[in-house]
Chain A
Amino acid sequence: MSTPAPKPAASGASLPLSPSTAFEPGGAGAAIRQSNLWKDAWYRYIRNRAALVAGAVFVAVLLYCIIWPIVSPYDPNDVEFADARQGPSLAHPLGTDNFGRDLLTRTALGGRISIGIGFAATFVILAIGVAYGSISGLAGGHLDNGMMRFLDALYGLPYLPFAIITLAILGEATFWAMVIALSIATWFTTARIVRGQIITLKQNDYVRAAGTLGARWHRVLLRHLLPNTLGVLVIAVFLELPGVILGEAFLSFIGLGIGPPDASWGSMAQEGYETYRVFPLLIIIPSVAIATLILCANFIADGLRDALDPRTRET
């Protein structure tokens, strides 16, 4: 009773290994690397050195913002006037601000807010853009024409003024208020890109075949069209992100951002701007953080475009 038991367990354990080992030894199929779009894209991406470095720095900044506030020995809101406006030292690697708060910790927390708002707003932009663009592209005809004309009209909206009005409507500048303000007048380009993609994809034989076989429109959309726009959308994340992060910084800089004691990189820069003649470090640190992130996002977007969509390099 106890002796046969190990046998199925052993074969079960070896089972996951068998597909890969079965293909590895010589034979006709050995030279062909099992591959798909994403694997190929990954290989192309890591061969692009600038994009690879940018990606690594980007991840490092994200990890710093997430992890450092937890392990930091300083409380980010701990006011210590005796230590105010110190330059970099061993105790405070980035120095301290006007209230003697540790800048390394404050910057990480500011990054959480800036990057958090940035990603959230980017996803809202993509969600609206995908919904609007795919409906318009899929419907075609008069509806498509009308929706595109409406979009043309929306292009006339100046983005910062509408963000300011939106913030006034929502009252307090909370995280989600910022997200809404930053996405309300910025999703138009994404909608256009998605529509263009859908219209091109619609012509493909497999999509027509699906339609002929009786697939409903939502199945065609979710199963055949949208998965094929995924590459473009991944690129769009990193194309939109810089604009959104800069927008958040601008709004915070003119005093409409998230209020104290919380601070984003933009409001930290605003604090720094007030004392830049005596202590320029305070504006330089958050600005450099923003610049680093945007620089990385640009290189990542370039790398992703070359990796996912090799035919269209520069737009």
Chain B
Amino acid sequence: MTGFILRRLLWTIPVILLVILFTFVLMRQIEGNPFRRSERSVPESIQQNLERKYGLDRPWYVQYAKVVKGVFTFDLGPSLVLRNRDVNDIVRTHFPPSLELGALAMTFALVFGIPLGMLSALKANTIFDYSAMFISNVGFAVPSFLVSTLLIYFFALQWGEWTGLPTSGWDSWESKVLPTIALGLGPMAYFARLTRGTMLETLQQDYIRTARAKGLRWRRVVVVHTLRNSLIPVVTAAGPILGFLITGSFIVEQIFAIPGIGAYYVTAVTARDYSVVMGLTVLLALVVIIANLVVDILYGVLDPRTRDARA
């Protein structure tokens, strides 16, 4: 098991190098440059000096090496557009809210989605099952901007005095309730559907019948025999979803005015702020990579057969 984890960890290094290369190449394809944004464009000589200062006049492989070095030494360099800030600074202030929002939404999705799916499977084809699945299907389909808007409209504006929830911000726990639900609803619905499907399939298995036949209590059969085996597909799906929740929460952040990474990212891309875009993209990619890594390890724990097969 340790060998498996080690090999998986080592494998992330070339992956990170590749992500940096991709972002690097793509960023250089965008026309324009970080210093020519204002109406009064700077004189040619100053332009050249600026490019020399930030190393933009060097060959691409020197610049690439510099970026790689920066990523691995956790020094992402200065922002090219915001002259008095460096990328580490931006990451330190704006990444925690995004990370926290993603983690909260994921927790919400798992805590409510899995039990909902379980109950639906155990009470298959009853009114409860149908209504739970109806809610899941709708929750999965409604875009997050509508969910966010409706949540603000009803819970913060119409019934605001009663619920005490604010419309925006990210300081008190009350302000985190609505964004968490808005972002977590879709994945929750997805987990509920997934859990229901795999539970129904697992309940058909022979070993469940054996477990019941030998007189085990029903609760034990459900929790130990059924749930554990049903969770494997859920875990597989959870990795990419966690990555998406942290990297794709731009809209919810924008609507709830959360000082996360989303708004920064779009401005940095349009301003050609190479170092900020590079730093943030690598960071977001790291989140996705780590999420996938955790999933692979969990997968090995839940299903011992896969330990040797997946290197």
| A and B together in one complex | yes
B22 at the interface (CB under 8 A from A): yes
Smallest CB-CB separation from B293: which chain A residue? A156
Give which listed residue, A168, A250, A253, A314, contacts B201 with CB less than 8 A.
Answer: A314
Smallest CB-CB separation from B196: which chain A residue? A314
Cβ contact within 8 Å between B30 and A153: no
With a cutoff of 8 Å between Cβ atoms, the chain B residues found around residue A88 in the complex are none
Cβ contact within 8 Å between B15 and A246: no
A169 at the interface (CB under 8 A from B): yes
Cβ contact within 8 Å between A166 and B143: no
B76 at the interface (CB under 8 A from A): no
B281 at the interface (CB under 8 A from A): yes
Counting chain A CB atoms within 10 Å of each CB, the highest count among B16, B200, B247 belongs to: B247
Smallest CB-CB separation from A294: which chain B residue? B141
Counting chain B CB atoms within 10 Å of each CB, the highest count among A164, A270, A294 belongs to: A164
Secondary structure call for the B interface? helix
A139 at the interface (CB under 8 A from B): no
Counting chain A CB atoms within 10 Å of each CB, the highest count among B11, B248, B287 belongs to: B248
A-B Cβ contacts below 8 A, count: 132
With a cutoff of 8 Å between Cβ atoms, the chain A residues found around residue B157 in the complex are 277
Cβ contact within 8 Å between A277 and B153: yes
Cβ contact within 8 Å between A273 and B194: no
Question: What range describes how many residues of B lie at the interface?
Answer: 35 or more
Cβ contact within 8 Å between B145 and A253: yes
Cβ contact within 8 Å between A287 and B142: yes
Cβ contact within 8 Å between B26 and A166: yes
With a cutoff of 8 Å between Cβ atoms, the chain B residues found around residue A150 in the complex are 18
A280 at the interface (CB under 8 A from B): yes
Known: A153-B19, A250-B251, A314-B198. A165 touches B140 (CB 8 A): no
Cβ contact within 8 Å between B289 and A156: yes
B269 at the interface (CB under 8 A from A): yes
Known: A164-B269, A165-B23. A283 touches B243 (CB 8 A): no
B250 at the interface (CB under 8 A from A): yes
Q: How far is the CA of A273 from the CA of B198 in the complex (A)?
A: 38
Nearest-neighbour CB distance to chain A for B188, whole angstroms, equals 15
Cβ contact within 8 Å between B265 and A164: yes
With a cutoff of 8 Å between Cβ atoms, the chain A residues found around residue B29 in the complex are 169
Q: How far is the CA of A283 from the CA of B145 in the complex (A)?
A: 9
B170 at the interface (CB under 8 A from A): no
Cβ contact within 8 Å between B15 and A168: no
With a cutoff of 8 Å between Cβ atoms, the chain A residues found around residue B248 in the complex are 158-160, 250
Question: What range describes how many residues of A lie at the interface?
Answer: 35 or more
Give which listed residue, B11, B240, B266, contacts A256 with CB less than 8 A.
Answer: B266
With a cutoff of 8 Å between Cβ atoms, the chain A residues found around residue B95 in the complex are none
Cβ contact within 8 Å between A156 and B19: yes
Cβ contact within 8 Å between B15 and A152: yes
What is the 8 Å Cβ interface bit string for chain B, positions 4-40, against chain A (1 contact, 0 not)? 0000000100111011001100110111000000000
Q: How far is the CA of A292 from the CA of B200 in the complex (A)?
A: 27
Smallest CB-CB separation from B255: which chain A residue? A273
Known: A295-B137, A298-B137. A168 touches B142 (CB 8 A): no
Q: Give A148-202 interface residues, CB cut-off 8 Å to B.
A: 150, 152-162, 164-166, 168-169, 171
With a cutoff of 8 Å between Cβ atoms, the chain A residues found around residue B201 in the complex are 313-314
With a cutoff of 8 Å between Cβ atoms, the chain A residues found around residue B142 in the complex are 287, 290-291
B146 at the interface (CB under 8 A from A): yes
B63 at the interface (CB under 8 A from A): no
Cβ contact within 8 Å between B247 and A161: yes
Give which listed residue, A157, A159, A295, A313, contacts B138 with CB less than 8 A.
Answer: A295
Q: How far is the CA of A159 from the CA of B241 in the complex (A)?
A: 12
Give which listed residue, B146, B153, B265, contacts A291 with CB less than 8 A.
Answer: B146
Nearest-neighbour CB distance to chain B for A227, whole angstroms, equals 28
What is the 8 Å Cβ interface bit string for chain B, positions 125-145, against chain A (1 contact, 0 not)? 000000000000110111101
With a cutoff of 8 Å between Cβ atoms, the chain A residues found around residue B243 in the complex are 158
B288 at the interface (CB under 8 A from A): yes
Nearest-neighbour CB distance to chain A for B91, whole angstroms, equals 14
A276 at the interface (CB under 8 A from B): yes
Q: How far is the CA of A253 from the CA of B147 in the complex (A)?
A: 14
Give which listed residue, B30, B143, B153, B265, contacts A161 with CB less than 8 A.
Answer: B265
Q: How far is the CA of A183 from the CA of B229 in the complex (A)?
A: 34
Q: Give B86-144 interface residues, CB cut-off 8 Å to A.
A: 137-138, 140-143
Smallest CB-CB separation from A245: which chain B residue? B143
Smallest CB-CB separation from A299: which chain B residue? B137
Q: How far is the CA of A157 from the CA of B243 in the complex (A)?
A: 10
A249 at the interface (CB under 8 A from B): yes
A269 at the interface (CB under 8 A from B): yes
B168 at the interface (CB under 8 A from A): no
Give which listed residue, B18, B30, B281, contacts A169 with CB less than 8 A.
Answer: B30
A284 at the interface (CB under 8 A from B): yes
Q: How far is the CA of A253 from the CA of B144 in the complex (A)?
A: 11
The 10 closest A-B pairs by CB, nearest first: A314-B197, A287-B146, A158-B247, A294-B141, A158-B284, A295-B141, A291-B141, A153-B15, A156-B289, A153-B18
